[in-house]
Structures are given as C-alpha cells and as structure tokens.
Amino acid sequence: MTIGILGGGQLGRMLALAAYPLGEFISIFDPDGDCCAGHVAPVFKAGFGDTSALEAWAKACKVVTFESENIAGEVLQTVQRHTTVAPGLVSLTISQDRLLEKQRLRDLGIDTMPFAAVDSLADLQQALGNIGIPAVLKTRRGGYDGKGQRIIRSPDDAEAAFNALGRRNLIVEGFAAFSREVSIVGVRGVDGDEVIYPLTENEHRDGILRTSRNLVGDPLHAEAEHKIRRLMTDLGHVGALALELFDVQGRLIANEIAPRVHNTGHWTIEGAETSQFENHVRAITGRHLGVTETRGYCAMVNFIGSTPDLDKLLALPGVHAHFYGKTGRPGRKVGHATVVAASAQARDDAVAGINRLLAA
C-alpha cells in the first residue's frame, strides 16, 4: 500500500526507510522537492495550502501520517475526507497547543507544573503571583528546540519576555528544578494494542536535544509507562507518541507531548528489537506491533549544524551513523549517531568518542 507522509524532513525520511522492508510504498507531501525525505522516496511537491493538490495526493494514499505537529489542523481535515489519517486530529490538535496539552494532561491526572494562559500583561502578572518566580513564558504554538520561550527570573523580566513573545496566545508555567529530563515513547495500534519503549534520559544544550540514553531498570519507568498508556488511550492515538517529563526529586512532571516518532527514540533504530519508526508504520497500517526489548546499553548523539568525519565515526565500536542528507547550518539537526553496547561503561565511552569527533 502507499503510505503518505505530510512533511519531508528527517523523520519522514526515517519512516520511509523503515517502511520499505515491509513492502510498503511511500509518498511524501512537501513544498520542497529537494527535502531530505525526497532522497529516499518520491515527493508530491505542493504547498500545504493547496487543497486540490492535497486531495489528489490523499486519494492515492491508503493511509496518511505526519512527521510534525506543526501542520495545520485544516490540512489533516482535508486529507481525512479522502483517506485514513493516523494519528488523528485529536492527537494533533492537543499536541500543537501547549495550553490544550497541559489542560488535557491535568484532566487525566498526569502532573504538570502549575500553568496559566496569558493574553495580556495583567494575565502574566497575576499568574506570576500565583505560580511564583522563576517561571517560563512560552508561545502556545509553534515553539520547538527551545524557541519561543523565555525564563522569567525576576518580576522585572516579565514585560520584556511578554513583548518578545508576541503579547498573546502565551502560556506561563512554573520553572521545574529538575534533576534530569526523561522521555518515554509508546506506540498504539488501530486495535488499541500498545507497546512501550524503556524510559530514556535526555540532555539538552541551548534548548536542543544533544544526547539520549536508554535507562535500564529505572525506578521511574513504571510510572512513566502508566502515564503514557493513559494518554494514548485517552487520545485514541494510533502510531508513535512521545511524552517528555522532568524528574523533580523523584516525581515525574509532564512537559510536552509529541504525537509522532521522536528524536529521543532514535536510539531504537539499532537499539531495540523493533524501532519506533517500524512500529509507527506497523501501527498506522493496522499490523501487529513489534517487541520493544532493547539490545543493550544504547545512546543517541545528535549532529547539530554539521556531521563529524564518517570514517572516524564508523571506526568507533558499536556506533552507527544516520546522516540526513541536509546541508549544515547552525542549530540545524543534520544527523545523529546511535550506540549499542554491552555495558553502560562501553556505551558512555562510545558517546565520549563521538563527542571528541564533534569537538575536533
């Protein structure tokens, strides 16, 4: 069958690469004919606002999925008049608006930092009075990789942060004094079957994910698994979903939902029996989900702005390269490496080796 993917970035590319061994065909919808998923799959080149193009494309696809939650809900609505979409509109709508997302999490009994909607300076000041300082002001929509947010460390910061972020459609939330950031990826099938990957620990720098490590036997895994199962079931989600969490003194606080395959799940490509990409494809095509057992101590290191020397990278034991075929630019994700090792020490040595190449 032909699987349509809205968006031709690296996630679309890796979904395509996982779909071909299952005998599926892929069609990427993207305004950029030279998008990086287009190197491995045909691109239907048209703008997301071109309704007749979307309709023609949707009719040729058995199922349509998306690689980013920043596509407009109207795009998915148009597509779903002509074919099946997975995940559905509910998952997309909730996860593309930080306020709806946090409200849904709270309604489900999944802890978040205290938060409030901000549409005026008075809203912000009142909320800061309740939440306290430090706090984080964010745009409700469109932020990623730390963009669209400001930390408010003193009452004097409030107005400047408010002005910098566009003065409305904002959310302010308490600052989480976390000891670590973790995430969990789950995949839910059409029939409601669910598989969950192990909890992953993540390091960010300048708001961008740098390194993820799978956690083996982490005491907070069960609680995270409970939360993501609850969420996937509530959303009637089909496909992969990631939940990003803060560990605040042993208490898990939800930060963000991504209704798709996720950067913190890239280690599963070689590090799990079935990768998040294959399981997403299996889910949206109505097939059995694959087991998520890990193959050892795994990690993922992002390449931001440029890729390291490939020969040196491949000389490191247990290291696999994933270059996206994108031109380098500061702050742009252009590839990643995965590590699979027999011990935590060997895994961390490999990560250190990759970081030395990146620093060279």
Q: Least distance to ligand AMP from the beta carbon of 162, Å? A: 17
Query: 84: closest CA among 62, 52, 68, 69?
Result: 62
Residue from 67, 194, 256, 270 touching ligand AMP (CB under 6 A): that is 256
**Could you say which residues in the range 168-187 bind ligand AMP, by CB under 6 A?**
173, 175-176, 181
| Residue with smallest beta-carbon separation from ligand AMP | 176
Cβ distance to ligand AMP smaller for residue 78 or 200: 200
Q: Is 123 left (phi over 0), alpha (psi -120 to 50) or beta?
A: alpha
Work out whether 116 is an interface residue with ligand AMP (CB under 6 A).
no
Where helices occur in 189-267 by DSSP H, the ranges are 221-235
Q: Least distance to ligand AMP from the beta carbon of 115, Å? A: 8
Q: Least distance to ligand AMP from the beta carbon of 320, Å? A: 25
Residue from 37, 64, 94, 113 touching ligand AMP (CB under 6 A): that is 113
Cβ distance to ligand AMP smaller for residue 134 or 286: 134
Cβ distance to ligand AMP smaller for residue 148 or 271: 148
Work out whether 67 is an interface residue with ligand AMP (CB under 6 A).
no
Q: Is 117 left (phi over 0), alpha (psi -120 to 50) or beta?
A: beta
Residue 112's DSSP bridge partners are 254
Work out whether 211 is an interface residue with ligand AMP (CB under 6 A).
no
Cβ distance to ligand AMP smaller for residue 69 or 256: 256
Work out whether 129 is an interface residue with ligand AMP (CB under 6 A).
no
Report in angstroms the alpha-carbon separations of 349 from 155, 214, 265, 315, 341: 44, 15, 20, 13, 10
CA 17/CA 67 separation, integer angstroms: 14
Work out whether 207 is an interface residue with ligand AMP (CB under 6 A).
yes
Please check whether residue 227 is in contact with residue 298, taking contact to mean a CB–CB distance below 8 angstroms.
no
# binding residues, ligand AMP (CB under 6 A): 13
| Alpha-carbon torsion angle 336, 341, 343, 347, nearest 10 | -30
Work out whether 255 is an interface residue with ligand AMP (CB under 6 A).
yes
Report in angstroms the alpha-carbon separations of 7 from 15, 26, 37: 11, 12, 8
Query: 303: closest CA among 214, 215, 209?
Result: 209
CA 25/CA 1 separation, integer angstroms: 6
Cβ distance to ligand AMP smaller for residue 95 or 292: 95
Work out whether 146 is an interface residue with ligand AMP (CB under 6 A).
yes
Work out whether 101 is an interface residue with ligand AMP (CB under 6 A).
no
Residue 261's DSSP bridge partners are none
User: Interface residues with ligand AMP (CB under 6 A)?
Assistant: 113, 136, 143, 146, 173, 175-176, 181, 204, 207, 244, 255-256
